[in-house]
A and B are shown apart, each in its own frame.
Chain A
Amino acid sequence: MKWFQRKAYPDFWKNYTDSFKAKQNDLKTTRFVVFDTETTGLNPKVDKILSIGTVAVSNFSIDVADSLECYVIQENFNADTVPIHGILKEGNITKITEEEAIIQFLNHIKNAVLIAHHANFDIQMINEALHRLGLPKLKNKVLDTGVLYKKTKYVNRNNFYSLDELCEIFKITKHDRHTASGDAFLTALIFLKILSLLKRKNSKLQLKHLFTWI
């Protein structure tokens, strides 16, 4: 009966899409996954993912146990970006294939709301990797901490805030900057602080408010 299906997807993708049957509406119980990717460059069409780092946030707390950190084996290697992320082609860190990384990532994120700083870029990088595996795009809802910060209206300019600037503003000590996990952790702290600011403005803050202008 398989020909009735438009296309046969692997099990991990089915598990991933199945997870969306459960709806997330409550801000307190919603699982957010904050993530960051380190890449060989800034062009999603050409460049590849070097590493993915994530950490989950639920019930207003960062759950370090619910996190993922993986490094991807490279075929093409762009030496120019090494000084930024510090990941060499042959390092001593255990590395996995891009496919394995994507499988682990989907297994981990499930139906969580994804959060990233400059989220568009990271999502595009993942989607390109999915495309290479012949899979559709991510189905998750996405929030960008840069955009969220502007919602707090504690802002007096309209352009985008860099991760470094937000760390300054929120007095977060920067560690492990430019590692995927390190940046994901910083982004998660920023997300907690933004949530707290938004709750202060609106004591009945709900999940849907995060996706609309309040």
Chain B
Amino acid sequence: MKNTIAQRILDFLKDFPPFDLLSHEELLSISSQVKVLYFEKNDFVFEEKEEVHDFFYVVKDGAIGIYKDSQLVDKCDEGDIFGLRAVVRKDQYLLNARAIEESIIYSISSLALKEIINHNSKFNQFLIESFATNTRNPYSNEQKDTLFTNENFLNPNSTNFTEVQSANFSKNPIVCSKDTSIQEASIIMSNNKVGSIVIIEENKPIGIVTDKDIRNKVATGNIRISENITSIMSFPVITFSPNITVSEAQIGMLKNDISHLCITEDGTTETKLIGILSDHDIIVIHGNNPSVLIKEIKRAKTADELKFIREKAQVLLQNYIEQAIPISFVANIISAINEAITKRIIDLSLLELKSPPTTFSWLAIGSQGRKEQLLLTDQDNALVFDDVEPTNIEEVRTYFLTLAKSINHKLNIVGFEYCPAEMMTSNPKWCLSLTEWKNQFTNWITKPNEDKIMLCTIFFDYDMTYGNKELVSQMSESIFDAISKYEIFLNYLGLNAIKNPPPLSFFRNFLVEDSGEHKDLFDIKARAIMPLVDAARLLILYHKLKDFNNTISRFDKLKEIEPQNKDLFDSCINAFKVFLRFRTQQGLHNNDSGRFIQIQKLSKAERLKLKGSFKAVKDIQELIRVRFKLSQIM
């Protein structure tokens, strides 16, 4: 029989998890048993300690606030489920649910739910997941989130890309037994015109020797050619299964800093060797690989050539994102490419001028300094030169400003836009001698105001791209010296770190920018990424740790130092990865900085994922608020 109303309810529910996991019949059966409720603003749906209703609820229109005592802990809007836990656990409600605005709610009977749980294992899985995440680990995991396994965006079917092609490895690896001498092995390699030989025992790979080993260990005279091959072999070998993809191979090589991978029957060293895959094989497969790009960068003669290479890197980035390759790995590669480009540009610009009057360091600052810049955004950089006689300083500065202008210009050609706030070396304010920098940092730390704190958040995240390491290390020391003499500075930095609280939900106006060019867009940089970056920097400075200039490595270090907060820091790392991936995806998709996100265009699952990650932001801000006693000085 036709049921127009149930059909209408089905049409609404079917887009939201977990209802998207149900078959049409299951969903129609649920939809035809729905009760529709209406709540005025401030009406209670249920109250704490109330006996559990026979229903759980889905918000159709409006918004329901979930309150612990009178503190808002979550906000449910269109498509959000609430009151489910009590129904499944059959106990009392632990929280209050109250309408934040007038709302229409669908209530679904627990009997209908039971029916589905018994017949639909995916739905069951969802419930287990959602309870698990609410109780023990309330944070979204970047990669394996079974909640979203039905979502294509995490597992794109991107077979068009060479990256996921099976890597075509050599099927007839050249091998020898462990009793072979170095000389014998070299003759085998030479006869077969190969650069590597695998040492096997019962057909299993136990070690590998490459041209490089022979050059470094034998040709240098350290080891005689009559010795056993095992004396120079690298072991254990890194093994993969035959269905290895190009990107896995690249990651495997980069991660282990090796050029050859062994392919065995099941991917372990315990089964038969069936092939070998070298970095050369991969280069043959396609030219767009990071090591090839870096070689090309080093050979480039003009900024235009570099621009072309950077565009190739962009394609590489896109493939990585689509394959859901770990974002921290992607960030490392892209940062390495950006760094190589900058170095090459500095070399090219230095060639145009006479040699520098004194030593200097070129610093990447902000997100570049943290190696978190995946997309082509503004250039942020600075320069420090060694102290010179006061009478010469302006002359020296003029030299470096000329150099900087040339470098900034070339970076702009490559695609790094000029920084609108002039945070660039060609700005005389950021082209300073070592003593000038030290004085500047001390001034920022001991006489902080809002502008100076903002500058600290940019300039304290620096990474030396080029030049004299000693200058940079002295700069760092001056920061720690000043902070230890003036610790209240950390409280100011703390205030800054919590000034953007995470949004609780995703539909209401206060969450998006409410004026200006980006009206009604969600600012993922200011509201999600920066709070975590700021928190990590603050805590690292608090522990006086040098040389941790990357948000993920900062949290990793913090896990060691504060094991009691390990879970929280882990969740921050996960959340940060989620946000960074999101921003990169958005940026690639819209060909912009990815900073502003149109909420309406996100799927419900994407919204949930972001929402889950905000919990980490909220918790780390709470830790900062307590540790730096910020509620007293706010």
Nearest CB on B from A82, distance (A):
18
Within 8 A of B (CB), among A78-94: 93-94
- A189 lies within 8 A of B104 (CB): yes
Bound: A11/B268 CA distance, A: 80
Residue-wise, chain B 462-492 has the 8 Å CB interface mask toward A (1 for contact) of 0000000000000000000000000000000
- Contact partners of A182 in chain B: CB under 8 A: 4-5, 8
CB nearest to B107 among chain A residues:
A61
A39 to B37, CA, bound (A): 30
- Measured between alpha carbons, how far is A63 from B8 in the docked complex, in Å? 14
Q: How far is the CA of A55 from the CA of B6 in the complex (A)?
A: 11
Contacts A61-B107, A189-B104, A192-B38 given; indicate if A181 touches B33 (C-beta within 8 A): no
Report the separation of the CA atoms of residues A54 and B474 in the bound assembly, to the nearest whole angstrom: 80
* A67–B40 CB distance below 8 A: no
Q: In the bound complex, what is the Cα–Cα distance between A62 and B33 (angstroms)?
A: 10
- Which residues 41-66 in A have Cβ within 8 Å of B in the complex? 53, 55, 60-65
A37 to B501, CA, bound (A): 52
B528 on interface, CB distance cutoff 8 Å: no
Q: Is A99 at the interface (CB under 8 A from chain B)? A: no
Please, which residue of chain B has its CB at the minimum distance from the CB of A170?
B102
CA distance A93 to B3 in the complex (A): 11
**Alpha-carbon separation in the docked complex, A93 to B2 (Å):** 8
Query: Which B residues touch A94, using CB under 8 A?
Result: 1-2
Q: Mark B31-51, 1 if CB is under 8 A from A, else 0.
A: 111111110100000000000
Q: By the criterion CB–CB under 8 Å, are A189 and B33 in contact?
A: no
* Nearest-Cβ distance from residue A184 to partner chain B, whole angstroms: 8
A64–B6 touching, CB < 8 Å: yes
Q: State the Cβ distance, A34 to closest chain B Cβ, in Å.
A: 11
In the bound complex, do residue B4 and residue A65 qualify as a contact, i.e. CB atoms below 8 Å apart? no
User: How long is the Cα–Cα vector from A182 to B2 in the complex, in angstroms?
Assistant: 12
Residue pair A65, B32 in contact (C-beta under 8 Å): yes
> In the complex, which residue of chain A has the Cβ closest to the Cβ of B55?
A61
Q: How far is the CA of A141 from the CA of B38 in the complex (A)?
A: 24
B607 smallest CB distance to A (angstroms): 20
Neighbouring A residues of B37 by C-beta, 8 Å: 60-62, 192
State which residues 150-206 of A face B: CB under 8 Å: 171, 173, 175-176, 179, 181-182, 184-185, 188-189, 192-193, 196, 200
B35 in contact with A196 (CB, 8 Å): no
Which chain A residues lie closer than 8 Å to B107 at the CB level?
A: 61
Tally of contacts, chain A with chain B, CB under 8 A: 65
Query: When the two chains form their complex, are residues A176 and B2 in contact, meaning their CB atoms are under 8 A apart?
Result: no
The answer on a CB contact under 8 Å between A62 and B35 is: yes
Instruction: Check B539 for interface membership: any CB of A closer than 8 A.
Output: no
Q: How many chain-B residues does the 8 Å CB contact rule pick out? A: 20
A144 CB-CB contact with B under 8 Å: no
Is the contact region of chain B dominated by helix, strand, or loop, or is it mixed?
A: mixed
Least CB distance, A98 to chain B, in whole angstroms: 17
Chain B residues with CB under 8 Å of A67's CB are 3, 5
A189-B104, A196-B40, A200-B40 given as contacts; is B4 within 8 A of A63 (CB)? Answer: no
Taking residues whose C-beta sits less than 8 angstroms from the other chain, chain A's interface range is: 20 to 34
Q: Could you tell me the distance in whole angstroms from the C-beta of A101 to the nearest C-beta in chain B?
A: 13
Q: From A57, which residue of chain B is reached at the shortest CB distance?
A: B36
Tell whether B9 is near chain A: CB-to-CB under 8 Å: yes
Identify B36's interface contact among A62, A69, A71, CB under 8 A.
A62
Bound CA span A63–B6, Å: 11
Residues of A within 8 A of B35 (CB): 61-65
- Kindly list chain B residues whose C-beta atoms are within 8 Å of the C-beta of A176: 4, 8
Determine if A69 and B40 form an interchain contact, defined as CB atoms under 8 angstroms apart: no
Whether A64 contacts B34 by the Cβ 8 Å rule is yes
A64 to B38, Cβ gap below 8 A? no
A64 to B4, CA, bound (A): 10
Contact pick for A65, options B1, B2, B33, B104, CB 8 Å? B33
Cross-interface CB contact of A69 among B3, B9, B38, B104, cutoff 8 Å: B3
The residue of chain A having its C-beta at the shortest distance from the C-beta of B106 within the complex is: A64
Shortest Cβ gap from B54 to chain A (Å): 12
Nearest CB of A to B386, in Å = 68
Nearest-neighbor residue (CB-CB) of B36 within chain A:
A62
Contact in complex: A188, B36 (CB < 8 Å) = yes
Interchain CA distance A171-B33 in the complex, whole Å = 24
Asked whether B31 lies within 8 Å of A69 as measured between CB atoms, the reply is: no
Measured between beta carbons, the chain B residues less than 8 angstroms from A71 are: 2
- Given the known inter-chain contacts A61-B107, A64-B31, A189-B104, please indicate yes or no for A181 contacting B36, CB distance below 8 A: no
A50 CB to nearest B CB, Å: 13
- The smallest C-beta distance from B314 to any residue of chain A, in angstroms, reads 42
**A188 to B: closest C-beta gap in Å:** 7
| A residues less than 8 Å from B33 (CB atoms) | 64-65
Interface residues in B86-107 by Cβ distance below 8 A to A read 104, 107
Return chain A residues, CB-CB under 8 Å to B6: 64
Residues of A within 8 A of B1 (CB): 69, 94
Residues of B within 8 A of A63 (CB): 35
What is the CB-to-nearest-CB distance from A87 to chain B, in angstroms, rounded to a whole number? 11
3 A-B pairs with the lowest CB-CB distances in the bound complex, closest first: A62-B36, A181-B4, A192-B38
What are 26 A-B contacts defined by CB distance under 8 Å? A55-B5, A60-B38, A61-B37, A61-B38, A61-B107, A63-B35, A64-B9, A64-B31, A64-B32, A64-B34, A65-B33, A69-B1, A69-B2, A69-B4, A93-B2, A94-B1, A94-B2, A175-B8, A179-B4, A181-B3, A181-B4, A182-B8, A185-B4, A189-B36, A192-B36, A196-B40
